[in-house]
């Protein structure tokens, strides 16, 4: 259910981000403290917080440890938390009371957390990981904040920041998160300002099929490759509906993503779909993505505004029979010294298959076009390109509407990056794609039409009364206006199966729609909202319909 209306919007005006994640606020805790080291099980309660790591901690085999919401865990030195074989860790905070893992000295840091063969019922949610330092020899260096090996836990709604994994041999991996032989669920996290030799934000290696979905991965750095993410040999991750922006790598390249395979038969098969990969950079190859001997399948992604020396959008190195496949993608506005959009390593006879995609400058392949996509607002409400409020949804009249290939996307994928239906026909747009109507759009967002829409608040100024207007509602029926600070899913009472696309959605107010279906609600926006990103959405319960999310920064 939607949360009750709070006139002052107290507690929600924290820094939002485009996929709806947030900087979690740390609660004020009692002054008590508990020193911990060695084997631990049972409950770390809020009453005993903070828990000071005065030595390495282990949850022993088959044991369990529950960490309550609001607990702080503070490394007093470079100590590690290990969840051993068959052990269960439940670190489930809440939006208002996240669990904090930090270090008393941010430079020395703590060693981070390792789940090694832990029970896959383990859960990490609404947690903050910061100042973790992965150092030393391989393989101990791997995973700055969180290393997951031989298990598949849930990691969701958490923040991984200011952590690193690197050594003098440059074989550190995953400054924020690293997985090995895992099918972990990595959902709706905020991964930012981390650093590693490979995979500044996230690293996926070896076997398993982890799902990395709905995350915001920004401002991470890699020395070798994969500023945002790095996929190593024999990995087959599913990378879906993530916001990958402003990451940087040197070395091997791949500012946003590096799909690295040192040998053609190591069989790396990442599935990359419905993502925004924008404003990433590298001094080497592949500003958006670098695919080396990697059979990546890229479908319905935006790859734009990236920069590199070779291949601003994509750089591919292969021998032809391990070539990436690109379908229903938008590739443009990338820059490079050599081939700004797609670059192939000629010395190995590299190939790439591109179809039903909008590629600036054109590209050979069925259904490809070379026309500006017509985004709603590519530099966002703050008028600054490369920030989290950039709106890459297709505007009415875009040539990319109904222009994709219906057979390109896995049949089990029925939603776009917003969580809206993935296959929607626009009667005003001729079908130029492949298949029977409704034909899928190009890019991560499906154009939903303009039948029920929420407009930007007017005047859009904090500290003043603002007008919120929804159009296309049911005449005479109430329209409900909701807000949040991160994307997610909240059920709508009276509408089974309908959810707003906000986690912990809060109701602002409701207003009846007039005879033309327009509902207008006016309320004062608190002054502390200034400069903050808030996610807004309207719901018409009489028809069980919702608007798209409006991302707005109040002046």
Pairing of strands 133-134, 478-484: unpaired
Distance CA 543, CA 555 (A): 34
Question: Do residues 378 and 408 both lie within one domain?
Answer: yes
> Is 250 among the domain residues?
no
Question: Do residues 177 and 306 both lie within one domain?
Answer: no
Question: Do residues 465 and 397 both lie within one domain?
Answer: no
User: Which residue, of 398, 417, 449, is where some domain finishes?
Assistant: 449
Question: Do residues 306 and 354 both lie within one domain?
Answer: yes
**71 within 8 A of 100, measured Cβ to Cβ:** yes
> Is 264 among the domain residues?
no
> Is 526 among the domain residues?
yes
Which residues have a Cβ under 8 Å from the Cβ of 4 and sit 6 or more positions away?
Answer: 506, 507
Distance CA 346, CA 68 (A): 55
pLDDT reported for residue 265: 58
Closest by alpha carbon to 201, among 224, 173, 232? 173
Question: Do residues 314 and 388 both lie within one domain?
Answer: yes
Q: Over its length of 555 residues, how does the chain's per-residue pLDDT go in tens digits?
A: 233 322 322 222 223 333 333 344 444 444 589 999 999 999 999 999 999 999 999 999 999 999 999 999 999 999 999 999 999 999 999 999 999 999 999 999 999 999 999 999 999 999 999 999 999 888 888 999 999 999 999 999 999 999 999 998 998 899 999 999 999 999 999 999 999 999 999 999 988 899 999 999 999 999 999 999 999 888 899 999 999 999 999 999 999 999 988 666 566 789 999 999 999 999 999 999 999 988 899 999 999 999 999 999 999 999 877 789 999 999 999 999 999 999 999 999 999 999 999 999 999 999 999 999 999 889 887 889 999 989 999 987 899 999 999 999 988 899 999 999 999 998 888 999 999 999 999 999 999 876 788 999 999 999 999 999 998 888 899 999 999 888 888 888 888 778 888 988 889 999 999 877 889 999 999 998 888 889 999 999 887 888 889 999 988
Which residues have a Cβ under 8 Å from the Cβ of 542 and sit 6 or more positions away?
Answer: 474, 477, 478
What CATH number does residue 530 fall under? 2.60.40
pLDDT reported for residue 24: 44
User: Which residue, of 449, 479, 507, is where some domain finishes?
Assistant: 449
Which residues have a Cβ under 8 Å from the Cβ of 466 and sit 6 or more positions away?
Answer: 457, 458, 459, 460, 522, 523, 524, 525, 554
Tell me how far the alpha carbon of residue 46 is from its chain's centroid.
Answer: 30
Question: Do residues 436 and 503 both lie within one domain?
Answer: no
CA atoms within 13 A on the CB side of 263: 3
Under DSSP, the state recorded for 527 is: G
Question: Do residues 54 and 157 both lie within one domain?
Answer: yes
Question: Do residues 417 and 510 both lie within one domain?
Answer: no
Question: Do residues 347 and 473 both lie within one domain?
Answer: no
Pairing of strands 519-524, 465-471: antiparallel
Q: Which helix (H) or strand (E) holds 35?
A: strand 34-39
> Is 268 among the domain residues?
no
Question: Do residues 188 and 93 both lie within one domain?
Answer: yes
155-171 in b/e form (b: 16+ CB < 10 A) is bbbbbbbbbbbbeeeeb
Specify which residues 408 forms β-bridges with. none
Under DSSP, the state recorded for 542 is: T
Question: Do residues 418 and 326 both lie within one domain?
Answer: yes
Residue ranges making up the domain that contains 485 = 453-553
Distance CA 261, CA 343 (A): 18
> Is 259 among the domain residues?
no
- The residue written with tokens 């990103």 in the block is 533
- The burial class, CB within 10 Å (0-12 / 13-18 / 19+), for 31 is exposed
Pairing of strands 127-130, 276-278: unpaired
- Beta-strand ranges (E) seen in 443-549 are 453-454, 465-471, 478-484, 487-491, 499-502, 506-512, 519-524, 533-540, 545-546
Question: Do residues 341 and 302 both lie within one domain?
Answer: yes
CA atoms within 13 A on the CB side of 443: 30
pLDDT reported for residue 74: 99
- The residue written with tokens 């670059």 in the block is 343
> Is 25 among the domain residues?
no
**100 within 8 A of 110, measured Cβ to Cβ:** no
> Is 243 among the domain residues?
no
**363 within 8 A of 348, measured Cβ to Cβ:** no
Query: C-alpha distances in angstroms, 367 versus 105, 127, 313, 325, 406?
Result: 55, 44, 19, 14, 12
**334 within 8 A of 312, measured Cβ to Cβ:** yes
> Is 404 among the domain residues?
yes
User: Which residue, of 173, 201, 219, is where some domain finishes?
Assistant: 219
Distance CA 128, CA 107 (A): 17
Distance CA 213, CA 38 (A): 34
pLDDT reported for residue 20: 38
Looking at the structure of the chain, the number of domains it has is: 3
């Amino acid at each position: 259910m939607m949360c009750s209306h709070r006139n002052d919007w107290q507690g929600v005006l924290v820094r939002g981000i485009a996929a709806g994640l947030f900087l979690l606020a740390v609660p004020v805790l009692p002054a008590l403290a508990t020193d911990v080291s060695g084997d631990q099980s049972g409950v770390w309660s809020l009453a005993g917080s903070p828990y000071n790591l005065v030595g390495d901690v282990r949850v022993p085999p088959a044991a369990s440890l529950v960490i309550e919401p609001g607990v702080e865990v503070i490394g007093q030195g470079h100590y590690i938390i290990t969840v051993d074989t068959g052990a269960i860790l439940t670190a489930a905070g809440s939006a208002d009371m996240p669990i904090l893992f930090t270090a008393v000295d941010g430079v020395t840091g703590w060693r981070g957390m390792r789940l090694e063969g832990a029970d896959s019922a383990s859960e990490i949610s609404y947690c903050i990981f910061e100042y973790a330092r992965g150092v030393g020899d391989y393989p101990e260096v791997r995973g700055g904040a969180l290393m997951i090996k031989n298990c598949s836990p849930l990691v969701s709604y958490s923040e991984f920041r200011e952590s690193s994994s690197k050594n003098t041999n440059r074989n550190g991996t995953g400054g924020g998160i690293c997985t090995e032989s895992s099918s972990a669920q990595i959902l709706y996290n905020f991964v930012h300002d981390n650093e590693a030799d490979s995979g500044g934000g996230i690293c996926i290696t070896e076997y398993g099929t982890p799902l990395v979905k709905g995350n915001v991965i920004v401002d991470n750095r890699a020395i070798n490759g994969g500023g945002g993410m790095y996929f190593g040999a024999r990995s087959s991750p599913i990378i879906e509906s993530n916001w990958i922006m402003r990451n940087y790598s040197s070395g091997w390249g791949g500012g946003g993503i590096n799909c690295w395979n040192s040998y053609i038969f190591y069989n790396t098969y990442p599935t990359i779909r419905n993502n925004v990969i924008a404003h990433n950079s590298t001094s080497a190859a592949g500003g958006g993505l670098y695919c080396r001997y990697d059979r990546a399948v890229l479908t319905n992604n935006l790859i734009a505004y990236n920069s590199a020396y070779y291949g601003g959008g994509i750089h591919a190195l292969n021998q032809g029979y391990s070539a990436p496949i690109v379908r229903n993608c938008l590739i443009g506005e990338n820059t490079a010294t050599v081939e700004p959009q797609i670059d192939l390593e000629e010395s190995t006879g590299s190939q790439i298959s591109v179809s039903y995609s909008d590629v600036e400058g054109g590209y050979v392949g069925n259904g490809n076009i070379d026309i500006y996509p017509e985004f709603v607002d590519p530099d966002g409400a703050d008028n600054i390109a490369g920030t989290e409020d950039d709106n890459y949804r297709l505007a009415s009249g875009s040539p990319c509407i109904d222009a994709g290939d219906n057979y390109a996307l896995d049949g089990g994928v029925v939603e776009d990056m917003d969580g809206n239906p993935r296959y929607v026909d626009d009667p005003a747009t001729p079908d130029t794609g492949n298949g029977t109507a409704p034909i899928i759009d190009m890019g991560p967002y499906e154009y939903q039409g303009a039948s029920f829409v929420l407009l930007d608040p007017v005047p859009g100024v904090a500290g003043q009364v603002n007008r919120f207007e929804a159009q296309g509602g049911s005449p005479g029926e109430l329209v409900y206006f909701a807000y949040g600070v991160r994307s997610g899913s909240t059920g709508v009472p009276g509408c089974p199966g309908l959810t707003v696309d906000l986690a912990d959605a809060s109701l602002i107010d409701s207003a009846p729609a007039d005879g033309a279906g327009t509902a207008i609600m006016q309320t004062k926006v608190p002054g502390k909202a200034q400069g903050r990103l808030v996610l807004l959405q309207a719901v018409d319960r009489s028809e069980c319909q919702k608007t798209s999310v409006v991302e707005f920064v109040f002046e």
